[in-house]
Structure 1
Amino acid sequence: MQELTFAGTPGIIVLVAYALMMLGIGFWVSYSRPGVREDMQSYYLAGRHLGVVVLFFTLYATQYSGNNIVGYAPAAYRIGFAWWQSVMFMTIIIAGYMLFAPRLNNIARRQQFLTPTDWLRYRFESPAIALLAALLMLWGLGNYLLEQLVAMGHGISGLTGGTVPYQIAMLGFVIVMLAYSWMGGMRAVAFTDVMQGIALLVGVAVLVVGGLYLVGGHLGDAFTYVVKEQPEKAAVPALQGSISWISILVLVGIGAAVYPHAIQRIYAAEDTRTLRRSLARMAWMPLITTAVIFVVGIIGIQLYPGLSDVQSEQLVGRIANDVAAINPFFYVMMILLFGGVVAAIVSTADSVLLSFSSIISNDIYRRHIRPDADEQRALKVGKLCGLVAVGGLLILAWNPPTLLVNIFILKFELLIQIAPAFIIGLYWKRMHSRPVFCGMLIGALLAGGMALTGFGKVYGVHAGVIGLVVNTAIAVIGSLLMPADDRRVDFAEARH
Structure 2
Amino acid sequence: MEDLRFAGLDAIIILSTYAVLMIVIGWLAGRGKKIGKSVSDYYLAGRNLGLITLFFTLYATQYSGNTIVGYAPQAYREGFSWMQSVPFFTLIIGVYLLFAPRLYVIAKKANFVTPTDWISYRFQSKRVTILAIILMLWGLANYLLEQLVAVGHAVSGLTGGTIPYGVAVIAFIIVMLTYEWLGGMKAVAVTDALQGIILLLGIIIMLIGALTLSGGGIANITENIAATAPERIGVPDMITNVNWISMLVLTAFGAAVYPHAVQRIYSAKSERTLKHSLARMAWMPPITSGLVFIVGIICIQLYPGLDVPASEELVGILANDIAGLNTFFYWAMVIFFGGIVGAIISTADSVLLSFSSMISNDVYGKYINPSASEERKIKIGKFAGILLIGLLLWVAWNPPGTLVQIFVLKFEILVQVAPAFVLGLYWKRLSSRALFWGMLSGATLAGGMTLTGYATVFGIHGGIYGLALNFIICVVGSYFMPMGTDQKNQVEEMTAMKNQNVSTATD
Counterpart position of 2:503: none
C-alpha distance 293-408 of structure 1, shift in aligned 2 (>3 A): closer
Q: Which residue of 1 aligns with 2:412?
A: 413
- Tell me which residue corresponds to 2:424: 425
Equivalent pair of 1:11/1:339 in contact (CA under 8 Å):
no
Change (3 A) 1:494 1:465: farther
- Contact 2:157/2:315 (CA < 8 Å) preserved in 1? no
**Partners of 2:124 and 2:279 in 1: how far apart?**
33
Aligned-pair CA distance for 1:127: 1.2
> What is the alpha-carbon distance in structure 2 between the residues aligned to residue 88 and residue 351 of structure 1?
24
How far apart, CA to CA, are the structure 2 residues paired with 1:164 and 1:330? 22
Given residue 30 of structure 2, which amino acid in structure 1 is its aligned partner?
S
Aligned to 1:30: 30
Deviation of the 1:76 alpha carbon: 1.2
Aligned residue in 2 for 1:345:
344
Moved segments of 4+, more than 6 Å = 405-409
Change beyond 3 A, Cα 1:417–1:282? same
Partners in 2 of 1:242 and 1:154 — Cα distance? Answer: 30
Q: Write out per-residue CA displacement over residues 78-119 of structure 1, whole angstroms, 9 at most, x where no aligned residue.
A: 211111101011111111211111111111101110000011
Give the alignment of 1:61-210 within 5 angstroms: 61-210=60-209
* CA distance in 2 between partners of 1:137 and 1:416 (Å): 9
Other-structure match for 1:277: 276
Most deviating of 356-365 and 9-18: 9-18
- Change beyond 3 A, Cα 1:361–1:7: same
Structure 1 residues 177 and 284: CA distance shift in structure 2, 3 A = same
Alignment correspondent of 1:493? 497
Checking the alignment, whether the CA contact within 8 Å between 2:146 and 2:406 is kept in structure 1 is: no
Query: What is the total number of aligned residue pairs between the two structures?
Result: 492
* Alpha-carbon distance in 1 for matches of 2:208, 2:226: 22
Do residues 373 (structure 1) and 372 (structure 2) align?
yes
The CA deviation at 1:27 is 0.5
Partner of 1:179, secondary structure, is: helix
Matching of residues 234-245 of structure 1 within 5 Å: 234-245=233-244
Shift of 1:408: 10
The answer to whether the Cα contact below 8 Å between 2:47 and 2:267 also exists between their aligned partners in 1 is yes
| 1:15 alignment counterpart | 15
Pair 1:465 & 2:469 matched:
no
For 2:444, the equivalent position in structure 1 comes to: 445
- What is the rounded CA distance, in whole Å, between the counterparts of 1:443 and 1:401 in structure 2? 23
Q: Is the 8 A contact 1:407 1:452 kept in 2?
A: no
Q: Distance in 2 between matches of 1:277 and 1:259?
A: 20
Aligned to 2:361: 362
d(CA) in 2 for partners of 1:240, 1:4 = 40
Q: Which amino acid aligns with 1:242?
A: N
How far apart are 1:249 and its partner, in Å?
0.4
Q: CA deviation at 1:266?
A: 0.6
**Aligned in 2, Cα 1:137/1:483: closer, same or farther, shift over 3 Å?**
closer
Q: Secondary structure at the match of 1:318?
A: helix
| 1:200-279 → structure 2 map (5 Å cutoff) | 200-279=199-278
Distance 2:214 2:385 in 1: 47
Task: Indicate how the Cα distance of structure 1 residues 406 and 225 shifts in structure 2: closer, same or farther if over 3 A, else same.
Answer: closer
Counterpart of 2:254, as a letter, is G
Amino acid corresponding to residue 416 of structure 2 in structure 1: Q
Deviation (angstroms), 1:44 = 0.3
The DSSP-based 3-state class of the residue aligned with 1:493 is coil
Q: Which residue does the alignment assign to 2:505?
A: none
Unpaired segments ≥5 residues, structure 2? 500-507
* Structure 1, 177-186 or 219-228: larger mean CA deviation: 219-228
CA contact (8 A) 1:3 1:159 kept: no
Partner-residue secondary structure (3-state), 2:424: helix
TM-score by length of 1: 0.95
Greater shift in the superposed pair: 300-309 or 141-150: 300-309
Q: Distance in 2 between matches of 1:315 and 1:157?
A: 11
Partners of 1:8 and 1:253 in 2: CA distance: 41
Stretch of structure 1 that moved more, 114-123 or 232-241: 232-241
Change (3 A) 1:494 1:477: farther
Q: Percent identity?
A: 57
Change in Cα spacing, 1:290 to 1:494, as seen in structure 2 (3 Å) is farther
CA distance in 1, matches of 2:278, 2:69: 25
* Cα distance in 2 between the residues matched to 1:417 and 1:126: 17
Q: Under a length normalisation based on structure 2, what TM-score does the superposition of the two structures give? A: 0.93
2:79 and 2:111 map into 1 onto residues whose CA distance is 47
1:492 shift after superposition: 2.2
CA drift at 1:344: 1.2
AA paired with 1:322?
Answer: D
Given that 2:44 and 2:263 are in contact with CA atoms closer than 8 Å, whether structure 1 keeps it comes out as: yes
What CA distance in whole angstroms lies between the structure 1 residues aligned with 2:407 and 2:288? 27
Q: CA shift at 1:409, angstroms? A: 7.0
> Match of 1:427, SS?
coil
Summarize the Cα distance change of 1:266–1:395 in structure 2 as closer, same or farther, 3 Å threshold: same
**1:2–1:388 distance in 2 versus 1, CA, 3 Å:** farther
Amino acid at match of 2:31: Y
Deviates more, 1:347-356 or 1:320-329: 320-329
SS in 1 for 2:35: helix
Residues in 1 aligned to 2:470 and 2:167: alpha-carbon distance in whole angstroms: 43
CA distance in 2, matches of 1:346, 1:237: 35
**Closer, same or farther: CA 371–40 of 1 in aligned 2, 3 Å:** same
- Equivalent pair of 1:247/1:465 in contact (CA under 8 Å): yes
